[in-house]
Amino acid sequence: MLLAYLPAVYRTTANPGLPRELAQFLLLGLACFFWSQVIAQPPAHCQLSHLGRAVYLFLSSAQLRVLGVILGFASAPFYGVRLVDQQIAAGILMVPGVLTDLVVLTVCLYLWLGQDDRRQAGRQRLQPRAG
C-alpha cells in the first residue's frame, strides 16, 4: 500500500484511465485481504488470536503514522500540490485513518482480556454440581 504514495506511482495513477482503475481495484483487494485477517467473515474464521489481531492492527497503523509524519513535516511537497494541502492530507491520514484501527484494536484487546473469564465460565457450566 505504501507504494501508492510514491510520487512516480502517484503521478501515473492520478489521471483518469486504466492505471488509475487498476490501482483502485488493487487497493480494494488489499483492503479486503487486510480486514479479513482481523474480522471473521463466516463461514471462514480468522487465523489470528485476539492478541495477534491487536498486534497486527498496531503494526499496520504504525506504518500509516510514519507516512503521515513524513508527509506532514516535509519542507517541500512530494506531489504537484501545495505544501499546505499535503499537510492537511497527512492530518487526515493520521487522525481518521488510524481511528478505525484504534476502535477495532480496542475491541480485539477487550475480547482477548475476556477470554479467560469466558473459559472459566464454560468450565463451571460443564462441571457436575454436588448435591
Q: What is the pLDDT of residues 67-125, one digit of tens each?
A: 889 999 999 998 888 999 999 999 988 888 778 778 888 888 888 888 777 777 777 67
5 and 56 in a common domain: no
52 and 28 in a common domain: no
52 and 25 in a common domain: no
Kindly state the cell numbers that stand for 71.
508527509
Q: What is the pTM of this model?
A: 0.65
119 and 83 in a common domain: yes
Kindly state the cell numbers that stand for 51.
492478541
CB distance 9 to 3 below 8 Å: yes
Asked, for residue 27, whether it belongs to a domain, the answer is yes
Tens-place pLDDT, residues 12-38: 888 899 999 999 999 899 888 888 888
Total number of domains constituting the chain: 2
89 and 57 in a common domain: yes
28 and 69 in a common domain: no
79 and 107 in a common domain: yes
pLDDT at 41 over 80: no
Q: Which domain holds residue 118?
A: 48-131
